[in-house]
Structure 1
């Protein structure tokens, strides 16, 4: 696949923006050093990764952002506009730590905003991998956690781990190397897209947004003959 759209989901402070930078191989998303969400609105960036264009959509924390629910819903709609006609994958991000009711609430909200169908397009990804014991895998770490097991089952057993700080240049242990984990993640997403017959996730809201974008694109084409298709698309998304 020549292009891939990936939405990153998770609560504030789990390292979503750092993860996006790790996947893209450069610092394009702003990183916060406080417990507050640095990402107040959905933002997308596209870079070449393993020979294809990868667009990452970084989202506001789905839990504990301190923002009203209605405002958060509006941000999710913005996310849907950014990834129209639909994402090929969702990354559901957690830290390597105790899996509590707060983490479960993230799963509940994904179900609420995107439906159960979204998990067919999802991969679970843990950050702070350096908190694993020596030679321990992420599957071993959560072996006896029923909530994590249930989530992984929903996501077809797809699970990866990175450490945005300590695994950047690890040459001694493939598993504890971000470069290795990102390559494995891309393979996992490729296999998932293949299993989903090349389709991207969609719902009624995404379909409605895509229709509006296409109508806006046609208006822009008629009024301006010297813009590229990429420029037309970006302008149309801003107008919707």
Structure 2
């Protein structure tokens, strides 16, 4: 019995010694590893002895394996990041393609191209074809009938140009309107066309036998400039209506009476357009061609100069900013301190 107990005691002591030896070797390995890593930042004279020690203990091979593992994990992370970016790009391209296809489908279904709305102010007398000058392509709201008392807004649909906001004005250029009414309705038309019209359509009746048409055109043009300012001359498009001969061109009409009308309209920066609005209307296709040509002219003017800005719009913007600042301060005080 004593021998057996002594044998068990010797076995336990040997096991404890083995375990202690393993712990000691593990400690040496950790210390060696730390020394190896630390040696990389030391001068060569000190670094080489430490590396030799790590090589003898086998820590260099262990660290090489760990380094390769870290590099492998880093490479996998980069591949995943690249694949993620590629997937996002593919999704973005798909969304853009769907959006383009959707817009194209809407364009085909509606029969017109998608474009920005236009804002126009029509000036002239009602008997000169002012209210019907833009009705060659059909309207979504009927034009006003009779004499207008104040400026009104309506919306028309023009092929290939989408919606156009038209501001019909009373006879601002006639002799039977007081200066107060002219001034009020001119400013009202600007408000309805806010933030500003893209063009002023100055409707001029050209009967062909009337030799005083250039005098009427000069008076209408000067009144327009008096009401809206000299800067409006760059946005005025003269529109000639009520021609006696359908075959006459704009150039032929302007050259009548030794070119008197051409001289008057030279003040405008824009070329004149021709629209036939007589009771014996030309064929529908010809009417639409006139309307498209006029709208193309307005679109060109918009692309070149944007929209007209009157002093009224500038002051409105200034007052709006001041009101916003005052209301913001009042609301901030109401909310109390932070």
TM range (shorter): 0.7 to 0.9
Q: Superposition RMSD on alpha carbons, in Å?
A: 2.8
Go from structure 1 to structure 2 and tell me whether the alpha carbon gap of 1:148 and 1:210 turns closer, same or farther (over 3 Å shift): farther
Structure ID, larger Rg = 2
More displaced 10-residue stretch of structure 1: 147-156 or 9-18: 147-156
Unmatched 5+ stretches in structure 1: 33-37, 219-240
Is the 2:218–2:264 Cα contact (8 Å) retained in structure 1? Answer: no
For 1:43 and 1:216, the matched residues in 2 are separated by 28
Unmatched 5+ stretches in structure 2: 1-114, 326-338
The equivalent position to 2:276 in structure 1, one of 163, 170, 176, is 163
Q: What pairs up with 1:147-226 in 2 under 5 angstroms?
A: 147-166=260-279, 168=281, 170=283, 177-196=286-305, 199-211=306-318
> Is residue 252 of structure 2 the alignment partner of residue 140 of structure 1?
yes
**Larger RCO (alpha carbons 8 Å, 6+ apart):** 1
Q: What is the aligned length?
A: 206
For 1:212 and 1:152, the matched residues in 2 are separated by 36
In structure 2, the partner of 1:30 is 144
For 1:216 and 1:53, the matched residues in 2 are separated by 32
- Structure number with the higher strand fraction is 1
For 2:203 and 2:116, the matched residues in 1 are separated by 25
Is the 2:235–2:270 Cα contact (8 Å) retained in structure 1? Answer: no
Is the 1:20–1:29 Cα contact (8 Å) retained in structure 2? Answer: no
The equivalent position to 2:179 in structure 1, one of 69, 79, 94, is 69
More displaced 10-residue stretch of structure 1: 82-91 or 205-214: 205-214
Is the 2:241–2:276 Cα contact (8 Å) retained in structure 1? Answer: yes
Q: Secondary structure at the match of 1:22?
A: coil
Go from structure 1 to structure 2 and tell me whether the alpha carbon gap of 1:51 and 1:111 turns closer, same or farther (over 3 Å shift): closer
1:6-55 residue CA offsets vs partner (Å, 9 max, x unmatched):
110123421111224335535612222xxxxx111111112332242210
In structure 2, the partner of 1:21 is 135
How does the TM-score come out when normalised to structure 2?
A: 0.54
